[in-house]
A and B are shown apart, each in its own frame.
Chain A
Amino acid sequence: GQQVMQIPQYQHVQEGEDFTTYCNSSTTLSNIQWYKQRPGGHPVFLIQLVKSGEVKKQKRLTFQFGEAKKNSSLHITATQTTDVGTYFCAGPIRAGNNRKLIWGLGTSLAVNP
């Protein structure tokens, strides 16, 4: 079925190193959202990308939406310990009159100080 794949599943970095997580959908998405979930917490909305080829930046975070609107990436420059958590991408999949948000399994980021 339709799914959203996210890689890598885990990433361990030294503080100051860069980090990237990739999201690939089996189908074209109208938009893609990124969320962050801290350990023991709940997902928190980071950003939404809508346009083909769109790039958005939030301080050290850079989000991209692919030209075909089937893939996306999140890049963090110079990671900090506050970046620790699991990063999820999610996109709406439509089947007839039904729409559901499909989530990647997330990339868990650990940062060594």
Chain B
Amino acid sequence: QTVVTQEPSFSVSPGGTVTLTCGLSSGSVSTSHYPSWYQQTPGQAPRTLIYSTNTRSSGVPDRFSGSILGNKAALTITGAQADDESDYYCVLYMGSGIWVFGGGTKLTVL
């Protein structure tokens, strides 16, 4: 049973930089997992931020960036703003038509 791991919570100061990660319970995340990232505020549908590791979705500010850091996928927010306070989810393609979401990270901006 593959588990995708994310930090349950994170805190960043306004204007600060934060990096959220997305790992595997066993093994390393690579570009072949096509990691993507989604932002969700309470009561709303998810919004696509990053796909294929590091491509920003249309309309997403360039303060959001994606990468592979070590053995994990990463989402970096540079110059955090108050409205970045949300839940963030990564999802990995595991092959054979199977996708697995991480448990999500609750980001607080204060």
A and B part of one assembly: no
